[in-house]
Amino acid sequence: MDLYYIIILFLLGINLGSFYNVVGYRLPKGESIVFPPSHCPKCDHQLSMLELIPIFSYIIQLGKCTKCKTKISLFYPFFELLAGLLFVLAYFIFGFSIELFIALIFISMTLIIFISDYLYYIILDEVLIVASGLLLIGIFFLDGILGVGTALFNGAISFSIMFLIKQLGDFIFKKESMGGGDIKLMFVFGLTFGWEMSLISIFIASFLGLPLSIIMLYLKNNKDRIIPFGPFLCIAALIILFLKIDINSVMEFIITHN
C-alpha cells in the first residue's frame, strides 16, 4: 500500500510541478494559465499530449523542441522532479493524514513563489490567498475552530513583526528593503508554524541567502543588485516543515548548547 501511495504522490507531484511552473511564469505577467495552451516560446509550436508528459517528454525529445530544435531548459524537468520528490518525502514524514494535506498545500505554494519571485520579484497575492484558505481548511479538520483562531492570530503576529522589520530596514537603508509579498508570505508561515517559528524562518533564510545571494549576483543579469528574499524564505520554511522543527525543539537546542 505504501508503494501505491508513493507512486500516486510522485505522479501527482510531477504533474502539478509542471502546472506550477506555468502559474509562476505566466500569472506575474498577467497572462492566462489556460490560454494559449503550452507552446514553445521560440516558434510557438503547440505542444502535443506526448510533449506535455512531465520529465518523460524532455527525455524523448532529447531536450529540444520537436519543431524548431531549440534547446529546452533543464530547469523544467528538474522542477517537475523536485515537486514529485517533495510530495513523496512529505508522505514519508507525515503519512496519509491531514498533516500531509497541509504539507502538500504548503509545498505547492512555495514552489510557485520560488519561480515567480526569482523571475519577476513578485509573490502573487492569488497564490497566498488560495494557499491560506486551503491551509485553514486543513487546520480546521486537524484542530477545530479553536485551531483556526490560533492560526489566524499567529499569522497576524507574523505579518505585523515582518511589517515592522521592513519599516526599520527602509529607515536604515533609505530605500525599500523588502517587498510587500514577503510580509504577506509571513502571514502564511504564521498560520502554518506559529509566529515564533515564522521568525526563525527569517534567520534561516538570511543565513542561506548571504552566500547564495553573492553567487546569484554574478550568475544572473541583475544590474540593480536586487536579490529576491522569497525563495530563501521558502527554502527555510521547507526545512522547518520537513524536519518538524518547533519552538520547543529550538529552545531545547539553545539551552543544551549554552
Span 101-126, pLDDT tens digits: 999 999 999 999 999 998 898 999 99
Q: Phi and psi (nearest 5°) for 95?
A: 70, -175
- 22-26, 135-139, 186-190, 254-258: least confident range: 254-258
What are 49-71's pLDDT values in tens digits? 776 788 888 888 777 777 777 78
> Which pLDDT score, from 0 to 100, does residue 256 have?
79
Any bridge partners for residue 12, and if so which?
Answer: none
pLDDT at 217: 62
For residues 132 and 75, the model is more confident at: 132
Lowest mean pLDDT among 1-10, 78-87, 199-208, 249-258: 249-258
What pairs with residue 39 in β-bridges?
Answer: 46
Check pLDDT > 70 for residue 225: no
Residue of higher predicted confidence among 119 and 187: 187
State yes or no: pLDDT of 74 exceeds 60: yes
Angle at 55 between CA 53 and CA 61, to 5 degrees: 80
Peptide bond into 36 cis (omega under 30): yes
Decide if pLDDT at 222 tops 60: no
Residues of the chain with pLDDT > 90: what percent?
A: 52
- Residue 58 CB coordination number (10 Å): 20
pLDDT of amino acid 99: 97
CA–CA distances in Å: residue 148 to residues 94, 132, 145: 20, 11, 5
What's the confidence (pLDDT) of residue 246? 83
pLDDT for 44 beyond 60: yes
User: What tens digit of pLDDT does each residue of 234-255 get?
Assistant: 999 999 999 988 887 777 777 8
Report how far residue 236's alpha carbon sits from residue 202's, in angstroms, rounded to the nearest whole number. 8
**What is the rounded average pLDDT of the residues 190-209?**
92
Q: What's the rounded mean pLDDT across residues 128-132? A: 96
**Distance (Å, whole) CA 179 – CA 70:** 35
- pLDDT of residue 199 exceeding 60, the answer is yes
228 falls in which pLDDT band (50, 70, 90)?
Answer: confident
Give the pLDDT score at 80.
94
Cell of 140: 480546521
- The answer to whether 112 and 127 are in contact (CB under 8 A) is yes
Average pLDDT of the chain? 86
CA distance 121 to 118: 6
Of 36-45, 77-86, 142-151, 177-186, give the lowest mean pLDDT range: 36-45
> Which cell goes with 102?
497541509
Task: Give the per-residue pLDDT at 56.
Answer: 87
